[in-house]
Amino acid sequence: MVRVRHMHSRNWLQSCGIVACWALAGMGCAHPAIAAGSGSAAISADAGSATRATFGSTNMLVVGHSMTFVDGLTVVLDKVDDSRCPPIVSCVWAGELAPQLTVHGGDAGASQTIVLGTVAKRKVVAAGYEFALVKASTDSATLVVTKLAR
């Protein structure tokens, strides 16, 4: 009888583990390689390596990764600040996800920091480029970068 209860406990724990993984994946906590399949070009090469990107196209960038454009502009997603209100708390402001980018090269020249937001500053114009946030999660940002005419 003890052995049967032990087996039921183990099966219950295994089931809970599977349900927890499934629930976390649905909440956006999945590994970036899993979350990348969103209909946009996913920029998720090894950290430190830059992936080629095209101006005007939608690209998903994972924290710690970069994309480089034909003119030499490199965009790195450094982090995504999360100021959103927790579900069980009553807040004055709902908060937002705010991706922080480092851009350099191309017309940007020296390294610059750009902060976008899901509520405020969805678009930022800097150094001859427009950076537009399409969507964000806690570990990625989907962006459209456009080179402006001079």
| pLDDT higher than 90, residue 1 | no
Dump the DSSP string for 35-77. HT-SSSEEE--STT-EEE--TTSEEEEETT-EEE-TTS-EEEE
Bigger pLDDT: 40 vs 48: 48
pLDDT score recorded for residue 48: 55
Question: What does the alpha-carbon distance between residue 6 and residue 137 come to, in Å, rounded to a whole number?
Answer: 40
- Residues 95-113 have pLDDT tens digits of 999 999 999 999 998 999 9
Mean pLDDT (the chain) is 77
Question: What does the alpha-carbon distance between residue 20 and residue 13 come to, in Å, rounded to a whole number?
Answer: 10
Bigger pLDDT: 36 vs 123: 123
pLDDT band, residue 117 (cuts 50/70/90)? very high
In the predicted model, what is the mean pLDDT of residues 125-135? 96
> For residue 132, which of 111, 110, 149, 147 has the smallest C-alpha distance?
147
Q: With H, G, I as helix, E, B as strand and everything else as coil, classify residue 5.
A: helix
Count of CB atoms situated within 10 Å of the CB of 67: 22
pLDDT score recorded for residue 24: 36
| pLDDT higher than 80, residue 75 | yes
